[in-house]
Structure 1
């Protein structure tokens, strides 16, 4: 996992990012595109954002199996 900061001075953006976090507090980079689109003026439908949040926990593992990110064990 990479940690890449997104700096903003707009409270609305921080509030939007917090609303897109999953139950474990993670914010998927998959959802970042919706934040960036809104920052540059695009209107994103609410149902698209809800769908993205609901399905953002799934990733491909090293054997290209679909797994939930939140169920991976941190071995570090």
Structure 2
């Protein structure tokens, strides 16, 4: 998520405002220190204008790719 946030020149605080979540929450998500709900994942995807598969495309892991494929089939 950090990659897409930075690509859009957003700070964690700005992205947090967009998704109505506090900056420390965004920071924890980017560090992998917090689990994210599907509702909040949807907020991030909409705010960053990306798909689930884009979010996971840099992972070379079969399980992660399967998760991305599954999320793409589910309407968030």
Provide TM-score, normalisation by structure 1.
Answer: 0.24
Higher strand share: 1
Q: State the TM-score, normalized to the length of structure 2.
A: 0.24
Structure 1 or 2, whichever has the larger Rg, is 1
Higher helix proportion: 2
